[in-house]
Amino acid sequence: MSDKKCVLAYSGGLDTTTIVVWLRERGYEVHAVLIDVGQEEDLPALCEKALQLGAKTAEIRDARPAMCQHVLPWVIGLGATYEGTYHLGTALARPFIAAEQVRLAKQLGGATLVHGATGKGNDQIRFEFAYRSLAPECEVLAPWKVWDIGGRSDMIAYLRKHGIEGDYALTKDFSLDENLWHLSVEGGPLEDPSATVRIEEVLKGVNDRFAGGVNGSHGELTATITFEQGVPVAYNGERLSLLELVATLNHEYRSAPWAWDLVIENRFTGVKSRGLYINPAAKLLHVAIDALARTSLNKPTYDQYVELGKQYGAMLYRGEFFSDQRVMLQAAATAAMQHLSGDVTVHLEPVPYAATINADAAIFSKNVATFEKSDFSHQDAAGFIRLTWMTSIGKPFAEETHGGTLETGGKPASGVRKAKSVPGGRLVPAAV
Ligand code: ARG
């Protein structure tokens, strides 16, 4: 019977609820592991539900400390995003869920690793990359790739057939995923980018349902974050652990008008999708750390830092947490982040912006920046322009070969459409 043992990454949602029943039907001994990644749900009650559904064991394991130690500092310190708009979230939690599954499978003396991700999304990749990196000897089972259940409505029908009723009001339409960093909503009316989404309605439904929910307030209008080497350590002067700090910001600002992003993204699988991400802590901290980096890093370092944030975000998005590239990028990020200490006060409305920045290592000279008289030498700039022009441009501009003239009515080069002059003297191509 031991070859039929399996460890399921169980969330208590519609998919993994269906999967417990489906696995039991196929004779598996199901060990459900519910990983606490900061989702604010009644986890013991969900474990109880797994047992009622037929799981042999169901247990909670806490991955929050590991997430706060091994990934979140760099996500925050780099202001990492995917494609510039998605502040990540789901991608951060999956490797830690997989790691706990593997740990349990090894304790059981080997077991099949089961996840509830579909064949369309990124999560299957994140789970299965992690399984391969950590336990290549274990078999992997992804029910979505083998069963004949077609979608969310089919799952509900399947469960009803097995006498299992539930509250599917929200999960019927939406695929939700919550952890300490964000809450994501995909599916239903969000799927079609040409359709207007009633964001307020979706937010209300989601926020009502989650225990961590909303107190209706938008929080204070300013927030001061203290950073030490790129990592936030205090909020409004109060020192907090990273977990407390992020949870506090997410609670306080979850219903703020700027707390969410509606994002169209290119999944690693090639599928385009649209999702609503509720991530106030991520947005606020990103604004703050970027301001600190702009103040503290020299230009070449800042440019590299921005690139690192993109690469680190994309690498996590693709599920490459257990990899050499993650370790390498973090080492480079740590080197940049050592300069990022100080206080940033963010004003939050109408949109978050860094109002004051007190950086310990500011490369900022009032004497240089001022429009007033100072001992800055304006003459130096003349030489700077001559030498820079010489290396970056290097020859007079030939209007004839560039399709136009700066004056209206000039004769364009042959074969080139006449340019239209616009106020300010910029050249724009004439309309076709
Ligand atoms: N599109 C996001 C990502 O790939 C969110 C995925 C949410 N997953 C879910 N099972 N609802 O990271």
Listed by start position, the domains of the chain span 5-161
**Number of other residues whose CB lies within 10 A of the CB of residue 270:** 7
Rg of the chain over all Cα atoms, to the nearest angstrom: 27
Averaged pLDDT for residues 2-28? 93
Closest atom of ligand 1 relative to the 89 alpha carbon: 12
| Six-digit token string for 262 | 């509606």
Kind plus residue range of the DSSP H or E element containing 283: helix 280-296
What's phi and psi for 431, nearest 5 deg? -65, 145
Q: What is the pLDDT of residue 388?
A: 97
**22 Cα to the center of ligand 1, angstroms:** 23
Angstrom distance (rounded) from CA 360 to CA 358: 7
Q: What is the pLDDT of residue 385?
A: 97
| Six-digit token string for 266 | 């290119």
Q: What is the pLDDT of residue 213?
A: 47
Residues involved in catalysis: 15, 94, 123, 175
> Is pLDDT at 432 greater than 50 in this prediction?
no
- Judged by average pLDDT, the poorest of 32-41, 282-291, 327-336, 412-421 is 412-421
Q: pLDDT tens digits for 380-404?
A: 999 999 999 999 999 988 887 877 6
Length of the chain in residues, anyone?
Answer: 432
Instruction: Tell whether ligand 1 has an atom less than 6 A from the beta carbon of residue 123.
Output: yes
Q: What is the pLDDT of residue 16?
A: 96
What's phi and psi for 396, nearest 5 deg? -60, 150
Contact by Cβ (8 Å): 61, 33: yes
Residue with the smallest CA separation from ligand 1 atom 5 is 90
Mean pLDDT estimate for the chain: 91
Pairing type for strands 175-178 and 353-359 reads: unpaired
Angstrom distance (rounded) from CA 16 to CA 41: 15
Angstrom distance (rounded) from CA 350 to CA 315: 32
Closest atom of ligand 1 relative to the 91 alpha carbon: 12
Percentage above 70 pLDDT, the chain: 90
* Amino acid identity, position 203: L
Closest atom of ligand 1 relative to the 187 alpha carbon: 11
- Residue 72's nearest CA partner among 324, 242, 247 is 242
pLDDT level of residue 166 (50, 70, 90 thresholds): confident
Instruction: Tell whether ligand 1 has an atom less than 6 A from the beta carbon of residue 319.
Output: no
Instruction: Tell whether ligand 1 has an atom less than 6 A from the beta carbon of residue 330.
Output: no
CATH topology (fold) of 5-161: Rossmann fold (3.40.50)
Averaged pLDDT for residues 261-268? 97
Instruction: Tell whether ligand 1 has an atom less than 6 A from the beta carbon of residue 91.
Output: yes
Averaged pLDDT for residues 188-206? 89
Q: What is the pLDDT of residue 234?
A: 98
Instruction: Tell whether ligand 1 has an atom less than 6 A from the beta carbon of residue 184.
Output: yes
> Is pLDDT at 146 greater than 80 in this prediction?
yes
Contact by Cβ (8 Å): 254, 282: no
